[in-house]
Amino acid sequence: MSWTVMTEDDRGEVNPLRFSSATGVDVTVELVHRMVSEHYLAELPSAFRFLDDERRFKGQQSCKAGVESISQWGREISDLMVSASTTGHVRIDFDRDALVMTRRRNPTPADRAAFEERRRRFELGEPGFVDEFVAAVWNDRDLIIIPVGDANANRSIEITYVSDDTASPPAGPHRSLIHGHEIETLFEWRGYFGGNSGAIDGLTRMVKSGTRYIAQLAGAQTGFIVGTIIRRVATSKVAMSGDKLFEHILHTNTEHFPQFHQQVPELTTAFGTFTGASAIVLVHGTVSSCAAAFHDLPHRSGLFAFEHDTFLNIIDNAKELERNIRRVLGNVQRVLLIGHSRGGLVARCAAHRLAGIAGFYPTVAVWTFGTPHKGTPVAAAGGDALQLIAAASNPIGPQTGCVDTRLAAITRFLPMLAKSPPGIAQMVPDCDFLQLLTPPGENDNFVTAYAGNYDITDRENGFGIAFRGSYGRIAFDGKANDLVVPTASAAGCGPAPRFVQRCAHSSYFAQPSIQYDISTW
């Protein structure tokens, strides 16, 4: 295995770009920390701070060396995909260096005929359920670290990975099942940038040329990229009946943000009736939680968190929210629903339902932040939407510490396996749900919409890396956005939208102006 990295400047001159690499390794924070310390600490101290914070967080959580290896993914998520498919029981097994997904189904006539043939030949076997191969994912256990500085900012960078085995599947019991299917090769990366950016994850499909796999990117900001190779094979798509990581996300974020959970009661489990004059209910977005979305907000009395499964139909989420508001907050004078991203759609639906209930006296206002009132092209990416939204919506780095390995693992399967769940499909632009939510001529005057505008190439505040052909450049077509939702869509509800410059989808509630607005409501 070998790497080459080339950069092209504004004059069209192509030159090699230095990098560090390692072969046959588990890509862990400890390994990356050691390599960056040895080669790039002196020139990239600001970006190194994010990696250093991540390493300390792992140490505090007693994370073992190698927890990010694919073997750990297999052990940890095998019990989280139960009943993930509506067409049969899905399971994930760790097969040496690969995660292999199978789906148990009833035998077909052909399966029974094959069993009878084996029995005539005195071969052992059972005529019961059939475990059908669905997908597999593995990595090549190769690591590359590329420094990106002002010298090559905003220039084209081409990464080439040469694989002698032409992406053959790993050895193991499932190798024969994987063999013969088209193998997808991806460059998986994490970038650590600037003093104002932090870390961001990305995944891009590589172009194959013989034994070479090529990814192109554009440099911006100062920092470094940590990359590795992921291989994937899929034979079919399955429908997700719900977010199988919902409870796990809540548990993980309870550990990450204990103070938030101590101070902000969960609405659905709150006992009795709240007696204050006003209350604020926080509604999180896709594959997130209230702690992850709102932990930057200063604490105030009367805050409640509405935790919910974001793969479900938005109307079902809204019904649950409306029911619990009536149960807990029916005696207050006013209620403010604060919805982040998809949560804003849930809040709007709940407000509509509350307005139609006779005898419900509190006035209800809705503030939305980065909500796709007119949809987002990211949701139209099918299964890829789940990975894209998770990557751009959840802050990574010193705010949350280490990446959740189980969530990271499942997002490697979802793009190739999952048909968009109902709660994701309802954010596709011009879908029936959005058109019915805001009929022509109506504008929900009780809504105040906040819309971010984030420039990924901003030298001061950019995330510092944008792959050519990435979802951001294709989906938004140069239009203003916050990395997940077009600015025009986020501003597409209510009489007087408020625009927030240089604000990414995950950073609304870290903005001082927004914190002030909420604290003074």
* Residue ranges of domains in the chain: 2-74+135-236, 246-519
Q: What whole-number percentage of the chain has pLDDT above 70?
A: 66
Most confident of 21-35, 129-143, 380-394: 21-35
Query: Which pLDDT score is estimated for 484?
Result: 83
Query: Which pLDDT score is estimated for 73?
Result: 39
Distance CA 186, CA 387 (A): 14
Q: Please determine, for residue 507, whether its predicted confidence score (pLDDT) is greater than 50.
A: yes
Query: Which pLDDT score is estimated for 328?
Result: 94
Query: Which pLDDT score is estimated for 180?
Result: 72
> Stretch 500-506: mean pLDDT, rounded?
86
Please, is 78 exposed, middle or buried when counting C-beta atoms within 10 Å of its C-beta (0-12, 13-18, 19+)?
middle
Query: Which pLDDT score is estimated for 323?
Result: 95
Query: Which pLDDT score is estimated for 206?
Result: 86
Structure tokens given for 119:
């029995």
Query: Which pLDDT score is estimated for 239?
Result: 59
Asked whether 184 and 379 are in contact (CB, 8 A), the reply is no
Query: Which pLDDT score is estimated for 384?
Result: 55
* Residue 350: closest CA among 288, 302, 306, 293: 306
Looking only at Cα atoms, what is the longest distance across the chain?
Answer: 80
Distance CA 365, CA 325 (A): 13
Q: Please determine, for residue 160, whether its predicted confidence score (pLDDT) is greater than 60.
A: yes
Say which residue, 518 or 200, is predicted with more confidence.
518
Query: Which pLDDT score is estimated for 134?
Result: 74
* Residue 88: closest CA among 133, 36, 34: 133
Half-sphere exposure of 137 (CA within 13 A, CB side): 21
Q: Please determine, for residue 84, whether its predicted confidence score (pLDDT) is greater than 70.
A: no
Say which residue, 36 or 483, is predicted with more confidence.
36
72-86, 212-226, 501-515: least confident range: 72-86
Fold observed for domain 246-519: Rossmann fold (3.40.50)
Please, is 1 exposed, middle or buried when counting C-beta atoms within 10 Å of its C-beta (0-12, 13-18, 19+)?
middle
Query: Which pLDDT score is estimated for 284?
Result: 95
> Stretch 387-414: mean pLDDT, rounded?
43
What lies within 8 Å, CB to CB, of 324 at 6+ separation is: 267, 268, 270, 306
Q: What is the pTM of this model?
A: 0.70
Query: Which pLDDT score is estimated for 311?
Result: 86
> Stretch 454-482: mean pLDDT, rounded?
56
Say which residue, 312 or 224, is predicted with more confidence.
312
Q: Please determine, for residue 464, whether its predicted confidence score (pLDDT) is greater than 60.
A: no
Query: Which pLDDT score is estimated for 506?
Result: 82
User: What is the average pLDDT score of the chain?
Assistant: 75
Structure tokens given for 388:
């894209």
Residue-by-residue DSSP string for 426-453: TTSTT-HHHHHHS-TT---TTEEEEEEE
Query: Which pLDDT score is estimated for 321?
Result: 97
Q: What whole-number percentage of the chain has pLDDT above 90?
A: 28
User: Residue 384 carries which DSSP code?
Assistant: H
Say which residue, 190 or 331, is predicted with more confidence.
331
Query: Which pLDDT score is estimated for 155?
Result: 63
> Stretch 39-59: mean pLDDT, rounded?
73
Distance CA 278, CA 364 (A): 10
Asked whether 305 and 324 are in contact (CB, 8 A), the reply is no
Q: Please determine, for residue 433, whether its predicted confidence score (pLDDT) is greater than 50.
A: yes
Query: Which pLDDT score is estimated for 509?
Result: 94
Half-sphere exposure of 19 (CA within 13 A, CB side): 25
Q: What share of the chain is helix, strand, coil (3-state, %, to 5)?
A: 30, 30, 40
> Stretch 473-496: mean pLDDT, rounded?
84
Distance CA 371, CA 381 (A): 17
pLDDT digits (tens, 9 = 90+) for 115-136: 676 666 655 555 555 667 777 7
Asked whether 161 and 3 are in contact (CB, 8 A), the reply is yes
pLDDT digits (tens, 9 = 90+) for 242-281: 776 677 678 777 777 889 989 999 999 998 889 899 999 9
Query: Which pLDDT score is estimated for 148?
Result: 77
Residue-by-residue DSSP string for 67-86: TTSHHHHHHHHTTS-TT-BT
Indicate the length of the chain as a whole number: 521
Query: Which pLDDT score is estimated for 282?
Result: 98
User: Residue 63 carries which DSSP code?
Assistant: P
pLDDT digits (tens, 9 = 90+) for 2-31: 899 988 766 777 888 889 999 888 777 788
**pLDDT category, 360, cuts 50, 70, 90?**
confident
Structure tokens given for 467:
């792959």
